[in-house]
Structure 1
Amino acid sequence: MPNPALAVSVMDPFNLPAAMDGGTAKVGDGIAYADGLRNKLDVYAPEQRGEPRPVVFFIYGGGWSRGERGEYEFVGRALASRGFVVVIADYRLYPEVQYPSFLEDGARALRWVQDNIANYGGDPNRLFLSGHSAGAYNAVMQALDPSFREEYGVTMPILAVGALSGPYDFYPFEYNEVRDVFGQAVSPEGTQPINLITSESPPMYLASGTTDPIVRVQNSERFADRLRAQGVWVTTQYYDGFGHMEPVLAMGAMWRWRMPVLDDMVGFFQRFGAFPSGVPYLAVAPEPPQMLPDSIAPIDQIVSQLNAMFQPIEE
C-alpha cells in the first residue's frame, strides 16, 4: 500500500470546503470499478440536475508511484462547477505494478463510465479526458493507444484531451523513477505518446509552466509539433514563470487567480462539443485574495513541498 500521509497533509489546504467551488456535489464515493483496493472512483456533478452533462475523466499524477483520488477533490468540484460530471479514479501504482497496468486500470474505469455514468447525470457520448503530470501521460495514452480501451470493450468516443504538465517523449529512460516503472516494457519506444500519434488522434490541449523542473516545457513543445505534423488539432498554453504543480493547483478555486487554466481547458472542450447549446456559466476572472486564512497562508511553501516530492522525468 502507498503511504499517502505526506501527500494528503500537503494537499489538504486545496480541499478545504472554503477553498473549493460551491454548487457542486460528490455524487459517487469510493465506487468499485474492478476488484482491488486501488480500483475505486469518485464522481462529482453540478448540484443542479437537468439535461445530461458532458463527462471529464480526470487522472491525477504522482510519478506512477503515489497519489490518491481524494487529494484532487478540488479539481473534481472545479470542473463540476463548469457544468461537467467528473470522474476521478484511483489506479494501481509502482511498486505493486509497472507499465502498462495503470493504463489497463484506466481503461477498466472508462468501461465503468461507459456503463454507469448516465445514472449520475453524465452523457457517455460527450467524454473528455484530462490529467496532470503522470496522469496527463495516462490520459494521452488512453487517447492514442486504442488497445487498452478495446481490451475492455470501451467504445465511447474521446472528443478531446486536456493535459497539464505531462511527459510525452522521455525515452531513453534517464531517471530511476521512470526506469523502475517503464524499464521492463517489451517495446520502450511504444510507451511514448510522441510515437503513437496518427491523423485520427483526438484534439489536445497541452498546458505547462515554462519553468517546470520535472517535465520541461520542451516536452510539450515537441509533442505539439508532432501532433500538428499529423494534422491533429492542438492548442498549447505555456504559463510564464510557473513550475510543475502550479497548473493543476490553479484549477481549484483557491489558486485560480494565478492562471486561467480551468477556463482555458473548458473553452477547449467547448470547441469540441462539450455544450452544444452553449456554455452554461459566465467565466469571471477572480481577483487575488487580500488575505488567506492562517491554515492556508503558506501556499508557496506548500508548492515547494509538492515539487520536492517529484523527481525529473526527462532530460
Structure 2
Amino acid sequence: MTMTSANKLLITLLSSVAVAFTTACSPVKTLNAIIPSDGYTLAKGIAYGALPRQKLDVYIPRSKDSVAKPIVVFFYGGSWDSGDRADYKFVAEALTSKGFVVVIPDYRVYPEVVFPEFVFDAAKAVKWAKDNAEKYNGDHNKVFLAGHSAGAHIAAMLTLDSQYLASVDLKPKDFLGMIGLAGPYDFLPVKTDRLRTILGPEDQRWKSQPINFVKGDNPPMLLMVGLKDDTVWPRNTFNLAAKIKEAGGPVEVLQYPDYSHIEMVAKLAKPFRKKDDLLDAITNFIESHTVASASN
C-alpha cells in the first residue's frame, strides 16, 4: 500500500468513526477490530452494582513485573443517552500500552435515568476500582478519573462536587487527578428539549454544571480541548480552567488547534495517533502526579 492510499484509508476510517460516535453505527467496531489485543488481558462484564448497566471492563497491561500500576477509570461520552463500554477498546489499548490498568464502566443513561443518577453510578464504579485494584495488579492509591465529552462532564462532577463520592465514602482527594477531553463543564442554557429533560427542571439545572462547584481544593486536572470542536464549545474548557485558577486550584489546559470533538478521543486510537501527542500528554500527567504522590 502506498503512503497516499494508506492516508486515504485512515481518513476514511476516521470519518466513519466520527459517524459511529454520533449515530451508534458499526464503524467503531471496525476500528476496534484492527486495534492490537496482545498488550493486555481483559476482565469483562464485572458488576459494580445490581442493575443491568452497572457493569465494567478491566484491561490489565501484560507486564513482566508485578509492580502495582496506576489505574485510569475512563467514562465515555454519548450525550448522557447512549454508549457502550465495548466500543472503547481503542482507548483501553492506548492507555494499557503505557502501563496503566484501565477500567471502562457502563452507566445508566436517558431515558432510564436523568441527572444526577448517572453521576452516582460513576461514583459506584470508581469505588469498585479502588476496592478491587489489587486483584488486577492496580494500585488503589494511584487512581485517575478520565472521560471524553459527557464522560468528561461526569469525571469533572466527581472531582468538583464532593456529594457524589461522599455517597460511597470517598472524597475527590482520594484520586490523584482528572483528565477531561472535550468536556462540557459550563454549558447553560441548553437548547434542546431532550437535554432539558435529561438535566432536570430549569431552576435546578445549575447543579449539573461542574464550574459551579469549583472551590480550589480539587485534585490536579488536565483539560484537553480541540479548537475545531463545534459540538462542545472550547469555552467550556477555558471557563472552567479560569475559575479553578482564580480559586487557586491545580489545572492545566492543552489546546489542539486542528482537532474536532470526535478527534479528541479518536486520535488515541493507534491508527490515528499523531506523534502520540494526546496519549503522551495524558501519560506525562499521570506519571508526574504518580511520582509527586509518592514523594508526599
TM range, normalised to the smaller chain? 0.7 to 0.9
Deviations 1:174-217 (A, max 9, x none): 23332121023763212211110112111111111111111111
Q: Does 1:9 align with 2:47?
A: no
Residue 67 (structure 1) shift: 0.4
Give the distance between the partners of 2:52 and 2:22, measured in 1 at CA: 17
| Unmatched tracts of structure 1, length 5 or more | 278-315
Contact 1:21/1:252, CA 8 A, preserved across alignment: no
Per the normalisation by structure 2, the TM-score is 0.86
In structure 2, the residue matched to 1:295 is none
Residue 21 (structure 1) shift: 6.3
Contact 2:146/2:178, CA 8 A, preserved across alignment: yes
Q: 2:126 aligns with which of 100, 106, 110?
A: 110
Over the aligned positions, Cα root-mean-square deviation in angstroms equals 2.1
Give the distance between the partners of 1:80 and 1:241, measured in 2 at CA: 26
Q: Does 1:98 align with 2:114?
A: yes
Give the distance between the partners of 1:22 and 1:231, measured in 2 at CA: 43
Deviates more, 1:145-154 or 1:268-277: 268-277
Per the normalisation by structure 1, the TM-score is 0.81
Residue 14 (structure 1) shift: 2.3
Deviations 1:92-140 (A, max 9, x none): 0001100001001001111211221210111111010100000000001
In structure 2, the residue matched to 1:39 is 54
Give the distance between the partners of 2:128 and 2:203, measured in 1 at CA: 28
Q: Secondary structure at the match of 1:257?
A: coil
Contact 2:60/2:102, CA 8 A, preserved across alignment: yes
Give the distance between the partners of 2:291 and 2:139, measured in 1 at CA: 10
Residue 77 (structure 1) shift: 1.6
Give the distance between the partners of 1:111 and 1:256, measured in 2 at CA: 31
Contact 1:209/1:239, CA 8 A, preserved across alignment: yes
CA spacing shift, 1:236–1:72, aligned 2, 3 Å: same
Deviations 1:293-315 (A, max 9, x none): xxxxxxxxxxxxxxxxxxxxxxx
CA spacing shift, 1:216–1:129, aligned 2, 3 Å: same
**2:217 partner letter:** E
In structure 2, the residue matched to 1:154 is 170
In structure 2, the residue matched to 1:249 is 266
In structure 2, the residue matched to 1:267 is 284
Residue 276 (structure 1) shift: 7.4
Deviates more, 1:32-41 or 1:173-182: 173-182
| Unmatched tracts of structure 2, length 5 or more | 1-20
Q: Secondary structure at the match of 1:75?
A: helix
Q: Does 1:177 align with 2:194?
A: yes
Q: Secondary structure at the match of 2:26?
A: helix
**2:80 partner letter:** W
CA spacing shift, 1:45–1:186, aligned 2, 3 Å: farther
Deviates more, 1:257-266 or 1:133-142: 257-266
Q: 1:134 aligns with which of 139, 150, 156?
A: 150
Q: Secondary structure at the match of 1:112?
A: helix
Contact 2:176/2:293, CA 8 A, preserved across alignment: no
Give the distance between the partners of 1:63 and 1:261, measured in 2 at CA: 22
Residue 70 (structure 1) shift: 0.2
Q: 2:223 aligns with which of 178, 201, 206?
A: 206
**1:92 partner letter:** R
Residue 20 (structure 1) shift: 3.5
**1:105 partner letter:** D
Q: Secondary structure at the match of 1:125?
A: strand
Give the distance between the partners of 2:102 and 2:183, measured in 1 at CA: 20
Within 5 Å, give how 1:221-260 maps onto structure 2.
221-257=238-274, 260=277
In structure 1, the residue matched to 2:68 is 52
Residue 19 (structure 1) shift: 2.6
Q: Secondary structure at the match of 2:243?
A: helix
Higher percent of residues as helix? 2
